[in-house]
Structure 1
Amino acid sequence: MRLFLLSMLAVSALLFPPAAAQDAQPAGEEPKLEIGAGGRPVGQIWSRSPVYAEHGMAATAHPLASQIAIDILKKGGSAVDAAIAANAALGLMEPTGNGIGGDLFAIVWDPKTQKLHGLNGSGKSAMGTSYAEFIEQLDGLTSIPPLGPLPITVPGAVDGWFELHGKFGKLPMADILAPAISYAHEGHPVSPVIAYYFSRNLRAFERNEAMIGDFSNARATWFATGAPKVGEIFKNPDLGRTLSLIAEGGRDAFYKGEIARTIDAYMRRVGGNLRYEDFAAHSSKWVEPGCVSYRKGFELCELPPNSQGFAALQMANILKNVDLAQYPRGSAEVLHYITEAKRLAFEDVARFYADPDMSPAPLEWLLSDEYGRERFALIDPAKASPAFGPGEPKLEGEGDTTYLTVADKNGMMVSLIQSNYRGMGSGLVADGLGFMFQDRGELYSLDPNHPNVYAPGKRPFQTIIPAFMKKDGQPYMSFGLMGGGMQPQGHVQVMVNIVDYGMNLQEAGDAARLNHEGGRAPTDPLNIQDADLLGVLHVEPGISPETIERLQAMGHKVEVVDNGVMFGGYQAIVRDPETGVYHGATEMRKDGQALGY
């Protein structure tokens, strides 16, 4: 979540955006009075204090979900129990970012085994639809539509809960899901940022109802009287009943029982490809997190493909070849190096990242120090390179997401991310179930020679990634950041803020960020010629005008974006290696809260 404020001029830019970036003043209204931040006795004036607690900590995108997690910890639940409870609540309270119609990834530090465990809880495409049949269904389209039945893959979140719970859970699942079920029936007040996203999603859905096909169930669930407003009491009794079935019948209630049969019937009605058999065959996958050393004893850890987590590791491997701390935070030099490292890493993402069961990537080579040095050597420190390409293996022979993190009294730390992908998802809701199906299948390539090409029973490329950091080999920080291709960039910026610039956990997330967009994508044909390989460097208003001018002089296309939407949303927990005290943080771009006890 990026970056850094260079001077009081930069602070002024953050607090008082340029006039062109502000809302236009309607005729006849009084001018708006701009009010900047007050003072602080410690730390940066644009941030606030992290939360400190000894026994447990939760940081989520909604205060009520954080409170639920703490309640579960106090009842004797593990960090995994609390994370599942919070995630279930967020599917109700923040359906603009996640839900049980989507996928899940998690990293767990287990104090008993003293190791990181990774879970890939993503689902697959329909087993009964071949590539040729899928192409025919597209009816001449050259890419997979973002809405309607075609981009829907099997939702993996519920199975992910039960996999995590089976290995690390303590409390009964019925107790874990009870708070979300209660809020679904009794209601909760809608928070400001989520109300904003409700409105955005409704406008997008209404513009594209023809693509969706059947928007009636979604409208009845969330938009019967328009988009939910701030402070409005929102209920979703259908979701409450679905969660009750899961609480009583376990994961099989979702994948082999009444819920799966309801989905099968609905998919047949709306022209979807998923069938009961796809749900019955689904399973999550335990994977080994990868870690790369950065500097000062810090290691960044991420999950392997089909997620994009290793893009952050590739960026770290490139950036450790330059001492960023020699430059001021928020300087053109720092933003330039981060941007070019991102562009280099994402070229490899577009070329190699896919379902490893069908298209293994050369991961050891991609994460090697040698390859990091080779890629760093391609960066011109004085100007942006017009184009990069993917590396050649040296081998022998505006999705929306929720991220949360929880830590318990025993030292277990959970980094969990969950999403329906683009917006609220596909726009489709099965009869009476109260959740929207993800549109993750939009991320398949249609190039038959691409590793990420659509195939039956295949996991698509995934953007959602949880993160973890170690310090001197010990668990240090569980963290993550929401938002499509922003996520690897955000992970690296947070790491740089903490390691290179000594920011505290809260400041590292509140500081102004960059988000580079452009270059090749995993959905592109391998031989694409017309991609915008330079792309656009988006920055927040906290980046100074001087830095922006210098970046433009270096050849970057720079745009200032002041609404925070494309820069993600951050949660983090640090465990002090000497005292065991937890530090928790959320950030200003979301409604979230860090709580401890």
Structure 2
Amino acid sequence: MTKKNRLLCFLGLLSIYSSLFAAPDRINGQNFATRSEVIAPNGMVATSQPLATQIGLDILKQGGSAVDAAIAANAALGLMEPTGNGIGGDLYAIVWDAKTQQLYGLNASGRSPKGLSYRQLKKQLKKLNRTALPPLGMLPISVPGAVDGWFELHQKFGKLPVKQLLKPAIDYANQGFPVTELIAYYWHRSVPKLSQQPGSFAQTFTLAGKAPQKGEIFKNPALANTLSLIADKGRDEFYRGSIAKKIDQFMRENGGYIRLKDLQEHSSTWVKPLSVNYRGYDVYQLPPNGQGIAVLQMLNILEQYDLRKMGFLSEQALHLMVESKKLVFEDRAKFYADLDFYQAPLKGLLSKEYARERAKLIGDNAAQRVDSGNPALYEGDTIYLTTADKDGNMVSLIQSNYRGMGSGVVVPGLGFVFQDRGELFSMDPKHANVYAPGKRPFHTIIPGFVMKDNQPFMSFGLMGGQMQPQGHVQIITNIIDFGMNLQEAGDATRWQHFGSSEPTEAHSAYIQEGGEIAIESDIDYQTIRGLMARGHKIRFGRGGYGGYQAILYDAKNKVYFGASESRKDGQAAGY
């Protein structure tokens, strides 16, 4: 039996298995939905950890704003889901302010150490026998931006004192919290490799040398102390005070490069969200150094096709979506970088005319190789949370350490891991995303927001590296093209394409061959066979399809709808 025939036989058996063990039938809506949407009139919080959701909801009930709830929930997630985020990482947010009737964007990502030159970094990589930055240790660490992001958001939109917002996370850190199922799984995977890094990872994040199990109570008194200092003394305690000085000393003693000056000079940036109109809905993302505009580029291409007529998860619709991703990700690899160092052709990238020209490259068969376009002619592990309050304010916030628990580097006594976001710099001196001191690396984390008729419609996000733009597009098309509700859109079967060029310029023969489509198990066998006939390579994976939360505002009934998908431990709740 040939390899192809063996795969077809496996797919047939898998199709039979899936039909025998399908999701239970529902009286209403799609039977793949795990639950109904949550609906509430006064406020809504959706996060990837139920206790964090309840903390955010309590803050709303105490009179806090949507931003207050987001900060409180984010602080709790840094404790309860350290596998995805923490105050050693970065933050991005889109905020709808009901008072000014305006969307605001915040880029709270950090920059590379100013004392580490490109030449020095290249020498260090040579010693490690590497050409690209590593995922662990000191070299990929950039300045953490999350804490400054909290205070920027709070200064503009907060109502309650920061001390009140951080108290629930501090209390849980001191008294302990039960670890949830999926977080325990990822925690277990991180411990063996991260325990070897400089600092106190094992002492801080294990119980007798092992990751906590599902249901075990975990405490982090060091993080409680750090959050207490921030709550009492403010943002400067982290970037100028005792915390900053401990970081500086530890880095000097252990071969790191972040210095007190790097922390002192850090600042977040308020930015204007960018948008395209997709079938009457204005979809917003933040500009680079993130990958959010990949969503907008993909939607511009897909708008030219009648996806609704093709049908959800049909062979033709999946083919078009994958091929549009391939085209856009080549632009992503070439043009997305820190705008302080590189003038990206944003107008051209988001042009409808440019999208029409790029769409002409999509044929009936899978493209084995695509290149970036010329947009100048037309002038990518994380947590996501969203909140909304009684005054109509909405927050879309995403925060990350990058690879799971980050670099593995923990300053003793501080209770958090430093991010490894610098791994995403290119070492190609001609590349827009090339490493430079004091530069923001390419970022994968993207918050999403949708407006309809100049009013807020949906605050949403879907975490997971390069899955994020692909996932955002799937959520939007699920709702707008395929008529799903907010919960169904998140629970619906997903796909992910691997094999495009990356902003680190990691080209390979794998990329040259068109990559692979990873699919969840309940895509129809006939569809899979049709995709294979078009030249697509198919693989099955366990996980890796992101984690979604969303809040939708129903302007007619003046209520919020909330959703949190079943692939994570999360919860949406309102009152």
Shift of 1:531: 5.7
Give 1:196's aligned residue: 185
Shift of 1:431: 1.3
- Structure 2 counterpart SS, 1:265: helix
Distance 1:50 1:472 in 2: 23
Give 2:235's aligned residue: 251
The farther-off stretch of 452-461 and 126-135 is 126-135
Among 542, 560, 571, the residue aligned to 1:582: 560
Distance 2:305 2:180 in 1: 42
Give 1:431's aligned residue: 412
Letter in 1 for 2:48: A
Unaligned runs of 5+ in 1: 1-9, 19-33
2:315 corresponds to 1:321:
no
Give 2:358's aligned residue: 375
Q: In 2 relative to 1, CA 274–36 (structure 1 residues): closer, same or farther, beyond 3 Å?
A: same
Task: Describe how 1:359-398 pairs up with structure 2 within 5 A.
Answer: 359-380=342-363, 382-395=364-377
Among 256, 261, 264, the residue aligned to 1:277: 261
Give 2:450's aligned residue: 469
Among 372, 379, 382, the residue aligned to 1:401: 382
- Structure 1 counterpart SS, 2:439: coil
Among 402, 407, 415, the residue aligned to 1:421: 402
Distance 1:16 1:478 in 2: 36
Give 1:592's aligned residue: 570
Shift of 1:395: 4.6
Shift of 1:13: 6.1
Give 1:128's aligned residue: 115
Paired residues of 1:266 and 1:430 also in contact (CA < 8 A): yes
- Structure 1 counterpart SS, 2:155: helix
Letter in 2 for 1:465: I
Shift of 1:394: 3.3
Distance 2:170 2:500 in 1: 43
Distance 1:59 1:278 in 2: 34
* Cα deviation digits, residues 434-468 of structure 1 (max 9, x gap): 00000000000000111100000000000000000
Distance 2:292 2:378 in 1: 25
The farther-off stretch of 39-48 and 192-201 is 39-48
> RMSD over aligned Cα, in angstroms?
1.7
Shift of 1:501: 0.6
Give 1:38's aligned residue: 24
Give 2:524's aligned residue: 544
2:165 corresponds to 1:185:
no
Shift of 1:579: 1.5
Task: Describe how 1:416-565 pairs up with structure 2 within 5 A.
Answer: 416-524=397-505, 530=509, 532-533=511-512, 534-561=514-541, 563-564=542-543
Give 2:548's aligned residue: 570
Name segments (4+ residues, structure 1) moved above 2 Å: 12-18, 34-39, 203-206, 393-397, 528-531
2:247 corresponds to 1:268:
no
* Cα deviation digits, residues 184-212 of structure 1 (max 9, x gap): 00011010010111111124436xx3xx3
What is the aligned length?
Answer: 559
Letter in 2 for 1:175: Q
Letter in 1 for 2:194: F
TM-score by length of 2: 0.95
Distance 1:354 1:415 in 2: 22
Paired residues of 1:478 and 1:573 also in contact (CA < 8 A): yes
Paired residues of 1:15 and 1:37 also in contact (CA < 8 A): no
Letter in 1 for 2:474: Q
Give 1:286's aligned residue: 270
2:311 corresponds to 1:333:
no
- Structure 2 counterpart SS, 1:155: coil
- Structure 2 counterpart SS, 1:58: strand
- Structure 2 counterpart SS, 1:394: helix
Paired residues of 2:330 and 2:371 also in contact (CA < 8 A): yes
Paired residues of 1:107 and 1:118 also in contact (CA < 8 A): yes
- Structure 2 counterpart SS, 1:421: coil
Letter in 2 for 1:496: T
Letter in 2 for 1:199: H
The farther-off stretch of 529-538 and 338-347 is 529-538
Distance 2:91 2:423 in 1: 17
Among 334, 355, 362, the residue aligned to 2:338: 355
Shift of 1:354: 0.4
Paired residues of 2:349 and 2:378 also in contact (CA < 8 A): no
Give 2:5's aligned residue: none
Shift of 1:223: 1.6
Distance 2:18 2:83 in 1: 27
* Cα deviation digits, residues 234-260 of structure 1 (max 9, x gap): 100000000000001111010000000
2:65 corresponds to 1:81:
no
Distance 2:227 2:17 in 1: 45
Paired residues of 1:421 and 1:439 also in contact (CA < 8 A): yes
Task: Describe how 1:219-258 pairs up with structure 2 within 5 A.
Answer: 219-225=202-208, 226-258=210-242
* Cα deviation digits, residues 545-589 of structure 1 (max 9, x gap): 11111111111111122x32x100000000002122100000011
* Cα deviation digits, residues 390-409 of structure 1 (max 9, x gap): 01133599x91000000000
Q: In 2 relative to 1, CA 469–13 (structure 1 residues): closer, same or farther, beyond 3 Å?
A: farther
Unaligned runs of 5+ in 2: 1-10
Distance 2:15 2:464 in 1: 21
- Structure 2 counterpart SS, 1:405: strand
Identity %: 58
Distance 1:264 1:149 in 2: 13
- Structure 2 counterpart SS, 1:307: coil
